[in-house]
Amino acid sequence: MYDEKSCRFMKSHEWAFAAGGVAVVGISDYAQKEISDVVFVELPKAGAKVEQGKACAVIESVKAAADFFAPVSGEVTAVNDAIVDNPALVNQAPHGEGWFFKIRPSKPAELDALMDFATYQKTTSH
């Protein structure tokens, strides 16, 4: 759904895909593999204000719980209730049905400051 190569990334593995004044966000394929089986996701409410780099959601896997950081500042316009009901979607399709929520960016330039896919890939290669 959201081509990984078209997304922008944070070092903490969150991605954003912007189109039409809205950014869809989620965790990278690399991150979902690292945390393994996702068993619980807590998302912000629609209408919530989030700030780039600040924790705004929680992901729990069989290994551990982790904060999800907003890749851009703005207002949450929609959340993906499907991953609350079926957290395994995050593992199955992190750039598809496993997206987290949508944001109306308040500072669109923040998107430009995120890494492109090639740069992000360099940070994840061991």
Q: Please tell me the pTM assigned to this model.
A: 0.95
Backbone angles phi, psi at 71, to 5 degrees: -75, -20
pLDDT digits (tens, 9 = 90+) for 1-35: 788 899 999 999 999 999 999 999 999 999 999 99
Between the alpha carbon of residue 68 and those of residues 33, 41, 126, the distances in Å are: 15, 10, 23
pLDDT digits (tens, 9 = 90+) for 44-92: 999 999 999 999 999 999 989 999 999 999 999 999 999 999 999 999 9
**CB–CB of 29/95 below 8 Å?**
yes
**CB–CB of 3/111 below 8 Å?**
no
> Mapping DSSP to helix (H, G, I), strand (E, B) and coil, where does residue 91 land?
helix
